[in-house]
Structure 1
């Protein structure tokens, strides 16, 4: 597996970073760093994140400047999230402090402060070739397990529209029935009477989905509650409509 190395550094150490970057590229290792590998017009932050995601290793040039850099800290966090092999390249005899102690505690440091630069770069090259990177995490695909509340809400709205349509058709049918031909009147009446049982089935489906979403803490809680409320109001309206004869029983 070929290695791709992201070079993380503080801006005060740009000259040293350029030297390591050029050395790795000249010796068959694909090195990446900002700003060289960010195209004009590209978003800086997303480009760096993409480079780290695609890298097998990250060389962290460790100096007082990098320890004080918030950007280097962000790059380290992204590398840890991506299972990127992190190699601290210690240029100064400086122990990590604060959160750095935690993040760098279990890493093997390359001591570059007590040897010449070429020897340190050669050791870095050997270390990169000798450490096999771990498998990159596979992005989790978004499924439909949390969509129950939204589906329930959509069903509730759909049934509401269906019953409003039934109400309009019922009023129109009552006024127009005397002048309609028998076949058309029968067809409309059949469709009209089929709406309530269909609505009841959809009511049950919406309630089951919404309540399941609430109980299992899946999906949007607000959507589930709105679905239950909307369905309950429609059931009440349906009961009143059926009792008064506006809707068929």
Structure 2
């Protein structure tokens, strides 16, 4: 019953007009006007006819959605009769350009109507204002609190922040997967060259605008996105906010789980390049030193398929380089598919450098063993425990570094 749940407007509609009735109800309730509508407000196990009769007798306004289906419904006629008997205010909302006939014509003869055709949405504000005008002041005040314009603006700003934040996370994930050697700030230009990925990036915004339109059915309000916080769409706020939080969390997890651009790892055994690798450097240790230990490394490089063509630099380095401890690069092998144009240092007498750099036009999509090398310790002293092997890839100003460099001492 209306008094128990503080409802003041009974919505009378034919079953065929239920989508329009739900749209009207959501808009009125978002504006602080509590509505009673079957079957939503019929208590479980209650007699349908009794619940409707009690609701009409208790509510102050009967909102009649008038259409051809409503005109042909005996239930609508009985509800209007009950409203007249209860001295409720009747507000007809015409969904179609037709006139009532029979007893409805008599009952509605002196009632001002609102025409909502050919489109319902433009008349929703007028309908809300009219119902507020005819409701008793005390009844209108006892409904849900009407939100201020500032609250609507705040909700819209929050909703846009949620959507834009998710777009930023999605853009970063796209960058890491397909454009991993392009700076984030260059992504807007690069992604325009990939229509499929640009559409993927646009999906969250399209979905948010579609949700807004479904909530209001009003193109004039679509840009506010306030339906995300249910400011103007009834009781789905928790569902929408929960879904948004899940999307944020999913995007963050996807970013974290994206394979690294560069990974340096210990190889299982001594590096033997084979036919698919080019030996860039031999290992010719001095006869006066004994090899104390040696480790074998592979650098995996992943270059996303959408990275622009150009020169890339792959670098492996001992950090810090332990010259006094006799730790140095030995054999270095390069993947022949790179089209290598330069290797530094190249000659065997330059082992005083604690790094190797390879320049080429890399065009790899999957993780691949790009660079193989051995590191050896020649002297009697122990190498520094702080020495690590790192690797990085560079294109222009963008540098991707191995997140977990391999630590020495050598074994």
Q: TM-score, normalised by structure 2?
A: 0.31
Q: State which of 83, 90, 94 in structure 1 corresponds to 2:87.
A: 83
Alignment gaps of 5+ in structure 2: 1-5, 137-411
The residue matched to 2:126 in structure 1 has which SS? helix
In 2: Cα distance, 1:3 partner to 1:36 partner: 12
User: 1:69 maps to what in 2?
Assistant: 73
The residue matched to 1:13 in structure 2 has which SS? helix
Report the Cα offset of residue 97 of structure 1: 1.2
Aligned length: 132
Report the Cα offset of residue 3 of structure 1: 7.1
In 1: Cα distance, 2:10 partner to 2:104 partner: 19
Report the Cα offset of residue 118 of structure 1: 2.4
Change (3 A) 1:132 1:19: closer
User: 1:47 maps to what in 2?
Assistant: 51
In 2: Cα distance, 1:119 partner to 1:39 partner: 33
User: 2:40 maps to what in 1?
Assistant: 36
Report the Cα offset of residue 14 of structure 1: 0.8
In 2: Cα distance, 1:87 partner to 1:111 partner: 11
User: 2:105 maps to what in 1?
Assistant: 101
User: 1:165 maps to what in 2?
Assistant: none
User: What per-residue deviation string (whole Å, max 9, x for no partner) do you get for residues 126-180 of structure 1?
Assistant: 00111245xxxxxxxxxxxxxxxxxxxxxxxxxxxxxxxxxxxxxxxxxxxxxxx
In 2: Cα distance, 1:117 partner to 1:47 partner: 28
Q: Within the alignment, does 1:123 sit opposite 2:126 as a pair?
A: yes
Where does 1:155-234 land on structure 2 (aligned, <5 Å)? Answer: none
In our comparison, the structure showing a higher alpha carbon Rg is 2
User: 1:157 maps to what in 2?
Assistant: none
Give the number of the structure whose residues are more often helix, by fraction: 1
In 2: Cα distance, 1:132 partner to 1:3 partner: 12
User: 1:210 maps to what in 2?
Assistant: none
8 A contact 2:7–2:36 mirrored in 1: no
Structure number with the bigger relative contact order (C-alpha 8 A, sep ≥ 6) is: 1
In 2: Cα distance, 1:8 partner to 1:49 partner: 12
The residue matched to 1:53 in structure 2 has which SS? helix
User: 1:181 maps to what in 2?
Assistant: none
8 A contact 1:4–1:31 mirrored in 2: yes
Give the number of the structure whose residues are more often strand, by fraction: 2
C-alpha RMSD of the superposition:
1.7
8 A contact 2:95–2:120 mirrored in 1: no
Report the Cα offset of residue 111 of structure 1: 1.2
Of residues 19-28 and 64-73 in structure 1, the stretch that sits farther from structure 2 once superposed is 19-28
The residue matched to 1:6 in structure 2 has which SS? strand
Report the Cα offset of residue 26 of structure 1: 1.2
Of residues 94-103 and 68-77 in structure 1, the stretch that sits farther from structure 2 once superposed is 94-103
The residue matched to 2:53 in structure 1 has which SS? helix
Q: TM-score, normalised by structure 1?
A: 0.51
